[in-house]
């Protein structure tokens, strides 16, 4: 598998079964991945499953901590738990009834006399997977010898901690089954170069030109100024409908008619600091600039989190086991909950196939596009992706992949 050049990426990385297999063998078993949310493991025995490629992991709250196991029965290999969340006192395999504790021990073998007396029950417990909680997420690594999550995340960890994600609550939880490679999806959210073509109606709220890219070890970040009209617009004074809507969403009092759109970001910062002084919020870890910017983190290889002062959005791209042109993308939205407001109930998870539901107008525009990117890539008239300066994170992802996959 040849390493990627600085500006050109072979398309087979997105279309070939060979590269998908190389990822399954050398990448996914080695990296830390978000398996789910800590808030879904409220009490002893709360659990959820996490599926990626042909692997499935069972994550469970146990003795105040969190444990993760390969989701497979040690008897004849049946998948132990179906996908989803739940509450268990123990895990019983539906095939022959072997039963495991929430700590993963094999507690009961049906008709034990049918097996040799020296059956090694201890060795037949569920196989452990490395597991850590951080920032409200449960992370797993299939490699038991993996470096710690802290080491893996490097500088990303402190930068996200500054937002105090514990003050946020989940408000939307969606999964979309998409006909494209998982990297087609990651790439689209790792650049804003496409904004003026794919999302022209949001140019009134985002400066897509003065975007800063930072490489954070194998991970990366885009810093995108929001509440500022794009320099591509002829009239940058006008407060358009999208900007009005965003201000309302951020809880900023209505503007007087004379306010220029170029001053709106200052109003947003001022409003958040006022609410902070009133004891409603704690954004003390954030600079004034951050209050009106999006810090978009790409956590290698497949997790992205857009941090804003008042909200966050995560995307997790999961490859299909055998089809390089298929993936699942999980989108979760979080709101910062002011101190005197009670947290909303957990929203129900919704899953659907592409074309059968919506992830919101802007993300739908992306998905419409991505399906066509995957189709285009299969053309014999296309061989390599050409990467520009605004798409650095895409090249960076591939260099990261090379550290796991290239020989």
**Contacting ligand FES (CB under 6 A), which of 95, 162, 267, 351?**
95
**Contacting ligand FES (CB under 6 A), which of 96, 105, 157, 273?**
96
Nearer to Fe ion, 126 or 315 (CB): 315
Q: 326 Cβ partners below 8 Å, 6+ apart?
A: 177, 178, 179, 180, 181, 320
Is residue 81 near ligand FES by the rule CB under 6 A?
Answer: no
Is residue 208 near Fe ion by the rule CB under 5 A?
Answer: no
Nearer to ligand FES, 110 or 244 (CB): 110
Is residue 75 near ligand FES by the rule CB under 6 A?
Answer: yes
Is residue 187 near Fe ion by the rule CB under 5 A?
Answer: no
Q: What is the nearest approach in angstroms of ligand FES to the Cβ of residue 49?
A: 16
Part of the chain binding ligand FES (CB under 6 A), chosen from 94-102, 261-269, 354-362, 383-391: 94-102
Nearer to Fe ion, 296 or 326 (CB): 296
The entry of Fe ion, ligand FES, none near residue 112 (CB within 5 to 8 angstroms by kind) is none
Nearer to ligand FES, 93 or 385 (CB): 93
**Contacting ligand FES (CB under 6 A), which of 93, 202, 252, 315?**
93
Nearer to ligand FES, 120 or 256 (CB): 120
CA angle (327 as vertex; 296, 145 as ends), nearest 5: 70
Q: What is the nearest approach in angstroms of ligand FES to the Cβ of residue 90?
A: 13
Nearer to Fe ion, 335 or 366 (CB): 366
What is the total residue count of the chain? 407
Is residue 108 near ligand FES by the rule CB under 6 A?
Answer: no
Q: 188 with 363: CB under 8 angstroms?
A: no
The entry of Fe ion, ligand FES, none near residue 353 (CB within 5 to 8 angstroms by kind) is none
The entry of ligand FES, Fe ion, none near residue 366 (CB within 5 to 8 angstroms by kind) is Fe ion
The entry of ligand FES, Fe ion, none near residue 75 (CB within 5 to 8 angstroms by kind) is ligand FES
Part of the chain binding Fe ion (CB under 5 A), chosen from 64-72, 304-312, 324-332, 364-372: 364-372
Q: What is the nearest approach in angstroms of ligand FES to the Cβ of residue 107?
A: 12
3-state SS string for the chain = CCCCCCCEEECHHHHCHHHHHHHHHHHCCCCCEEEEEHHHCCCCCEEEEEEECCEEEEEEEECCEEEEEECECCCCCCECCCCCEEECCEEECCCCCCEEECCCCEEECCCHHHCCCCCCCHHHCCCEEEEEEECCEEEEECCCCCCCHHHHHCCHHHHHHCCCHHHEEEEEEEEEEECCCHHHHHHHHCCCCCHHHHCHHHCCCECCCCCEEEEECCEEEEEEEECCCCCCCCCCCCCCHHHHHHHHHCCCCCCCCCCCHHHHHHHHHHHHHHHHHCCCCCCCCCCCHHHHEEEEEEECCCEEEEECCCEEEEEEEEECCCCCCCEEEEEEEEEECCCCCCCCCCCCCEEEECCCCCCCHHHHHHHHHHHHHHHHHCCCCCCEEECCHHHHHHHHHHHHHHHHHCC
The entry of ligand FES, Fe ion, none near residue 191 (CB within 5 to 8 angstroms by kind) is none
Is residue 85 near ligand FES by the rule CB under 6 A?
Answer: no
Q: Tell me the site size for ligand FES, rule CB under 6 A.
A: 9
**Contacting Fe ion (CB under 5 A), which of 366, 385, 394, 405?**
366
**Binding site residues, ligand FES, CB under 6 A:** 73, 75-76, 78, 93, 95-98
């Amino acid at each position: 598998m040849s390493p990627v050049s600085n500006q050109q990426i072979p398309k087979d990385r997105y279309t070939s079964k060979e590269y998908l297999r190389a990822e399954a063998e050398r990448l996914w078993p080695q990296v830390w991945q978000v398996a789910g949310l800590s808030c879904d493991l409220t009490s002893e025995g709360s659990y959820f499953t996490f599926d990626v490629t042909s692997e499935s992991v069972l994550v469970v709250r146990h003795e105040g901590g969190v444990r993760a196991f390969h989701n497979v029965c040690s008897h004849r290999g049946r998948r132990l738990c179906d996908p989803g969340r739940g509450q268990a006192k123990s895990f019983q395999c539906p095939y022959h009834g072997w039963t495991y504790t929430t700590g993963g021990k094999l507690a009961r073998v049906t008709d034990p006399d049918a097996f040799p007396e020296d059956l090694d029950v201890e060795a037949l417990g569920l196989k452990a997977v490395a597991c850590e909680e951080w920032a409200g997420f449960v992370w797993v690594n299939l490699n038991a010898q993996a470096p710690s999550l802290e080491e893996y995340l490097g500088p990303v960890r402190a930068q996200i901690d500054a937002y105090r994600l514990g003050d946020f609550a989940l408000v939307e939880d969606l999964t979309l089954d998409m006909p494209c490679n998982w990297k087609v999806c990651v790439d689209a959210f790792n650049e804003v170069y496409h904004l003026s073509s794919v999302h022209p109606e949001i140019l009134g709220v985002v400066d897509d030109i003065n975007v800063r890219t930072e490489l954070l070890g194998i991970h990366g970040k885009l810093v995108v100024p929001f509440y500022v009209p794009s320099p591509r617009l002829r009239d940058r004074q006008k407060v358009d409908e999208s900007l009005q809507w965003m201000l309302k969403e951020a809880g900023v009092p209505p503007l007087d008619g004379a306010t220029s759109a170029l001053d709106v970001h200052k109003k947003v910062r001022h409003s958040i600091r006022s609410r902070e002084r009133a004891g409603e919020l704690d954004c003390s870890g954030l600079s004034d600039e951050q209050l009106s910017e999006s810090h978009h983190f790409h956590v290698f290889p497949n997790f992205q989190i857009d941090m804003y002062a008042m909200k966050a959005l995560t995307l997790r791209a999961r490859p299909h086991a055998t089809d390089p042109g298929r993936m699942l993308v999980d989108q979760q939205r979080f709101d910062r909950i002011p101190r005197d407001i009670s947290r909303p109930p957990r929203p129900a998870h919704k899953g659907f196939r592409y074309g059968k539901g919506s992830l919101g107008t802007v993300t739908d525009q992306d998905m419409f596009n991505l399906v066509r990117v995957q189709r285009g890539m299969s053309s014999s008239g296309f061989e390599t992706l050409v990467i520009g300066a605004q798409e650095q994170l895409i090249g960076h992802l591939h260099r990261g992949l090379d550290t796991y996959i290239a020989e």
